[in-house]
Amino acid sequence: MIRSIRPSLNRCLLYNQGLMPYIDAHVWQRSLLAERIQDPSLDDVLILLEHPPVYTLGQGATPEFLKFDLDNSNFDVHRVERGGEVTYHCPGQLVGYPILNLQRYRKDLHWYLRQLEEVIIRVLAVYGLAGDRLTGFTGVWLENRKVAAIGIKVSRWITMHGFALNVCPDMTGFQHIVPCGIADKPVASLAEWIPGITCEEVRSHIVQSFADVFGVDLVDSTH
């Protein structure tokens, strides 16, 4: 029996990548965004990957949230065009970069942020964990500790940047910053609730959740 894809589903290309330097992923995102601004009919994209240790600052980020001297450190640091404050990426953290044309969904940035949170909340529910939203903040929380950060950039209703879920990273890198500029709420990883959890198993749950939340048909692709 041939499975028919409901015509209402948008196609979304899935790039399931491994470890990729932040700068390479950033250049790739900008390229995908520029192509879709030029030709809005191109398919949407979801990139899933991990990064080597790196700190990124949003376009309006406050340097005071860094606990090291930006000019005299060996850390890899990038200021980029997303919203939000400083965050940290490293292996064991799953990062998702959706390049979506919101004109196919809803032209509402608050709606889009809530949808990204919903993707993560549904992934946590697979493990019997109740992810929360906190009023006035963006991201997903477990027992008042932040497990997923979200920061986006939208140009002509096409998105870039996205979400980062702490699965099983070495959390010590977070000690050098005030994550997302929130001093009184600690960050955490899923491994603290589920010892032995891996990014590999969580990837499939993110893919399924993303497809369900956004109503897309994810098509495996290669880069």
CB 118 within 8 A of CB 95: no
Report the alpha-carbon distance of residue 169 to residue 196 in Å, rounded: 11
> Residue for token digits 């799953």?
94
Catalytic residue among 12, 90, 168, 180: 180
Is 90 among the catalytic positions? no
**Cβ atoms within 10 Å, residue 81:** 14
CB 217 within 8 A of CB 211: yes
Q: Which of 26, 15, 87 is nearest to 55 (CA)?
A: 87
Between CA 195 and CA 208 the distance in angstroms is: 22
**Catalytic positions, please?**
180
